[in-house]
Amino acid sequence: MGRKVGIGRRLGLIAAAVAVSLAGWPGVVAAGPAAASVERVDVVGPQRHDLSIKSPAMGHQVRITVLFPRTSQPRGSLYLLDGGGRKTGISDWINEAGAEGYFSDKDVNVVLPAGQGAFYTDWERVDPAFGRPQWETFLTVELPPLIDKLYNGNGNNAIAGLSMGGQAAYTLATRNPDRYTGVGSVSGCPLTTGVQNEAQIRAVVARDGGDAANMWGSWGSAGWVDHDPARRLDALRGKNIFIGAGSGVPGPLDQKTRLDPGRSRLEKIATGSVLEIGARECSEEFADLMRADGLQPFEHFRRIGTHAWPYWAEDLEVMYPVLARGL
């Protein structure tokens, strides 16, 4: 069982946003015609930049937020991925979990992609709703050199996410083991194969208007197998590993969740309970597989908690120290 957490710190976000020109910012010129480049920087505060990155792989500009320390010495970078659902131009870790406040005194770069995550993978075919995202190439090949160059990165990276992003974090870490020193999932289901796991992923993609057959192929095909972290457990050896979830039992923090338009709090809690029960079962199964293979994940399985941001904000305080060991 994971250790208990205290009340999460919810510091206020910096309000002022100033758009700045890139002309005087060193290091933004792309290294070559196929390299990603920074097209715009919004200076939101002394330790936060919102960037527009021109990505050749994605074929369009991608919005990300970078949080960074006040110090200038080299430091590692933590990539934090969102869950599913339609998104704004700013990561939910900022808007919902107070990540800007939490990391303000941490010696780390925090990279937070925004927009529709689409499981943060390279899609096989064009989808009418999503197009053909190439998230894996963007996150593992194009973006890290830019972050290291512009924000004094030392080359050490960890990746983590919640829900859909938790699944993606484990897939990316096991497919690109040389890129990451640690990986974490909060309320996610890392497994992709098996009827139940595949159906769950397909349902998430369908909810947002897409067809997962365009992502990894037809039912049970090679694409689904190739993105299952359970098939690449050796890639996790020597890494800092975190996995956690709630139980689905509602608790006091459910009274703090932001309500969706047209939905009551009771509906919100009921849906969150069902989703978290599924995430818990899958996460525990994956943790068992890791332990059986000789890995030692840090497990944080709470006795209460639904699929909701107030719990994830507190989970971040437990997860980050685990991943920080390799940064």
DSSP string, 239-279: SEEEEEE--S---GGGGGSPPPTT--HHHHHHHHHHHHHHH
**Tally of domains in the chain:** 1
Q: What is the pLDDT of residues 191-217, one digit of tens each?
A: 999 999 999 999 999 998 999 999 999
Question: Is 88 part of a structural domain of the chain?
Answer: yes
Q: Residue 13 has what pLDDT?
A: 24
Residue 262's pLDDT band (boundaries 50, 70, 90)?
A: confident
Mean pLDDT of the chain: 89
Residues 6+ apart with CB under 8 A from 37: 28, 29, 30, 53, 54, 146
Phi and psi at 291, nearest 5°, equal -65, -40
Three-state DSSP state, 326: coil
Question: Is 214 part of a structural domain of the chain?
Answer: yes
Question: Is 48 part of a structural domain of the chain?
Answer: no
Angle at 273 between CA 269 and CA 242, to 5 degrees: 120
Question: Is 238 part of a structural domain of the chain?
Answer: yes
Is the confidence at residue 52, as pLDDT, over 70?
yes
Q: Residue 9 has what pLDDT?
A: 28
Q: Residue 4 has what pLDDT?
A: 33
Question: Is 9 part of a structural domain of the chain?
Answer: no
Is the confidence at residue 8, as pLDDT, over 50?
no
Q: Residue 86 has what pLDDT?
A: 65
Which CATH number is 264's domain given?
3.40.50.1820
Q: Residue 16 has what pLDDT?
A: 27
What's the mean pLDDT in 301-308?
A: 96
DSSP assignment of 38-64 equals: EEEEEEEETTEEEEEEEETTTTEEEEE
Q: What is the pLDDT of residues 127-141, one digit of tens each?
A: 999 999 999 999 999
Separation CA 244–CA 51 (nearest Å) = 30
Q: What is the pLDDT of residues 69-86, one digit of tens each?
A: 999 999 999 999 999 876
Beta bridge partners of 63: 52
Out of 4-8, 194-198, 260-264, the most confident range is: 194-198
Beta bridge partners of 18: 43
Question: Is 150 part of a structural domain of the chain?
Answer: yes
Domain containing residue 191: 67-324
Three-state DSSP state, 202: helix
Is the confidence at residue 255, as pLDDT, over 70?
yes
What's the mean pLDDT in 152-156?
A: 98
**Parallel/antiparallel/unpaired status of strands 109-113 and 75-81:** parallel
Is the confidence at residue 28, as pLDDT, over 80?
no
Residue 89's pLDDT band (boundaries 50, 70, 90)?
A: confident
Residue 1's pLDDT band (boundaries 50, 70, 90)?
A: very low
Q: Residue 10 has what pLDDT?
A: 26
Question: Is 52 part of a structural domain of the chain?
Answer: no
Give the orientation angle of helix 265-292 with respect to helix 195-207, to 10 degrees: 140
Question: Is 33 part of a structural domain of the chain?
Answer: no
**Residue 48 burial (CB count, 10 A):** 22
Q: Residue 48 has what pLDDT?
A: 98
Higher-confidence position of 117 and 8: 117
